[in-house]
Amino acid sequence: MSIEEQRARFLEDGYLIVPNALAPGELAPIREAARAAEARWRADLSLPGVRRHDLEQVLGIMEHDPVLFDLIEHPRIFPLVRELLGPDVMMLDHDYFMTPPGAEIPHGWHFDFNMPAVDHPRSLLMVKVFYVLEDIPEDGGATLVLPGSHRTPLEPEMPNAEAPEDLPGAVRMALPAGSAYLITGRTYHSAGNNRSDRYRHLLIYTYGHKWMRMWDEYRPSAALAAQARTPMRQQLLGLTDPYGPAVDDPVPPLFPTVETPRGASPSEAPAAPQRSLGTNGAAAGDAPRGVSTVGRTFAETGYLVIENALTSEELAAVRQAADEAEARWRADLSLPGTRIPEFLEIEGIMRYAPILADLAEHPRIFPLIREILGPDISIIDHAYYITPPGGMLDGDAWHTDVRTRVRGVWHAGSTMMVRAMIALEDIGEDGGATLILPGTHRQPDDTPIPRVAVPEEMPGAVRLTCRAGTAYFFHGNVVHSPGTNQGTATRRVLLYNYGHKWMRMWKGHEPTEEMIAQATTPMRRQLLGLTPPYRD
């Protein structure tokens, strides 16, 4: 079968069997390396893994032998995996699975990947490759899969069975040594009961996208990382920028470049009416309005404005902290960010002061975003944007934050990111207000973004003019653009971009030791990526 045929079959069925994936000459050294790893792991209880009567699992199997490391790019399997997941493919997990004779797996059917934010039937987040090292007989605990189940949307009830083999429609991976089989992270599957007299031996290599966190707490050792000599191998080990370009596939930058003035004056499109949650003159500390209204409004438009999100006292304190951060950042060129005359971005703004870290959980903003993203909410990046007057933006500045950066997901049906902006100065009509195209977050992913000469000319655009202390946030897939600051005041906005805890943080935005020490609540720890990505 050609790669195209294999791909089509896999996408149709949710699984694929590759006979003779490992040639006999390859199988012997792989088996030997796995056996040696097993012996080392049995002798050293500090080595990570699962040690149960019904399952033994050596974690991080690639660490044990170069042969097992090279299997990550096996020439018969990896090209297909890359084809399926795309150029941003990354390793999520790798282990050696040993199922002892007698292992019983009652009600074992499950999805590996069940994240509610994702439109599963049209997304592909994980490809799991199983290499069979010893023949698996019919009663030898073979993996069972339910064909087509990867297209199941989120549902509370899936059929299960006391004996996994009894589920109608199940297909059994009872295969000879050297075979490989692949499933998606959304394929409903179970281990079988091992009623044979022998161990089942599998190597499992799980691939995802480089914007995803690795399974549990695995990080490649320094020794393994040093062996990653090609760009692809480095990407596979999670050593590259999670949201930057993938190997051999440069994508446009997320933040459009600001051009120097070129004399052309953007037309003044009339601002469309804003949808606003807050009310002018709301008392300090008033709770935002009912969350269901918020959810409905946001679901429709993809954005929301909260006027007076910060009280005047909060605004003054935040502004002071932001000013101090700016002074420090300007004085120290080693601090990360963008430094061009028309646009300054201080990256990792939560690092600069506890009040700027606390703002990520502001009581008038955070609960709404948490409702939209779900309880697995986390921080992806955080920054301070300073836009002096005088820059000129190209019409190509219109974009969505997730389409090119968070691949594998059908964004029209998923909610991967919500970006919150807090204005520290009034932003008027010509002050470079963020421009939004309402409702575009639910457009099919291949919908082209209309081309305009300057951002303000986009038909239907809403200009998010606002007073200092306003917060607004938008869906990562909504089509938006920075505006051109033609006013006299510098635009000052704090940015907090939220995603899910199983997504990696933006490079360079990881928490400092100080922030970790100050993260005393479970939610703060989760926001900073300090909790397990895939377990509760």
- CA-CA distance, 204 to 225, in Å (whole number)? 20
Closest distance of CB 254 from Fe ion, Å: 6
Closest distance of CB 128 from Fe ion, Å: 8
95 is a contact residue toward Fe ion (CB under 5 A): no
CA 82 to chain centre: 18
Phi and psi, residue 511, nearest 5°: -70, 145
Closest distance of CB 111 from Fe ion, Å: 8
Q: Which residue has the tokens 């080693």?
A: 334
CA dihedral 11, 15, 21, 22 (to 10 degrees): 140
Phi and psi, residue 16, nearest 5°: -155, 135
Which residue's CB is nearer to Fe ion, number 376 or number 401? 401
Which of 38, 93, 401, 456 is close enough to bind Fe ion by CB under 5 A?
A: 401
Write the single-letter amino acid at 423: A
Of 3-11, 358-366, 397-405, 515-523, the segment contacting Fe ion by CB under 5 A is 397-405
3 state SS for 296-320:
HHHHHHCEEEECCCCCHHHHHHHHH
Burial of 10 (0-12, 13-18, 19+ CB in 10 A): buried
Residues 460-479 that bind Fe ion (CB under 5 A): none
Which residue's CB is nearer to Fe ion, number 82 or number 189? 189
Of 25-33, 277-285, 399-407, 494-502, the segment contacting Fe ion by CB under 5 A is 399-407
| Local structure of 32: helix, strand or coil | helix
Of 84-92, 261-269, 398-406, 511-519, the segment contacting Fe ion by CB under 5 A is 398-406
Which residue's CB is nearer to Fe ion, number 233 or number 475? 475
517-524 long-range CB contacts below 8 Å, 24 or more apart?
518/354, 518/357, 523/361, 524/361
- CA-CA distance, 429 to 465, in Å (whole number)? 6
Which residue's CB is nearer to Fe ion, number 56 or number 112? 112
Q: Which residues pair with 172 in a beta bridge?
A: 144
Which residue's CB is nearer to Fe ion, number 112 or number 381? 112
Which residue's CB is nearer to Fe ion, number 187 or number 470? 187
Of 112-120, 197-205, 424-432, 439-447, the segment contacting Fe ion by CB under 5 A is 112-120
Which of 93, 112, 381, 430 is close enough to bind Fe ion by CB under 5 A?
A: 112
57: its two tokens: 């699992």
Of 192-200, 276-284, 396-404, 438-446, the segment contacting Fe ion by CB under 5 A is 396-404
Residues that bind Fe ion (CB under 5 A): 112, 401
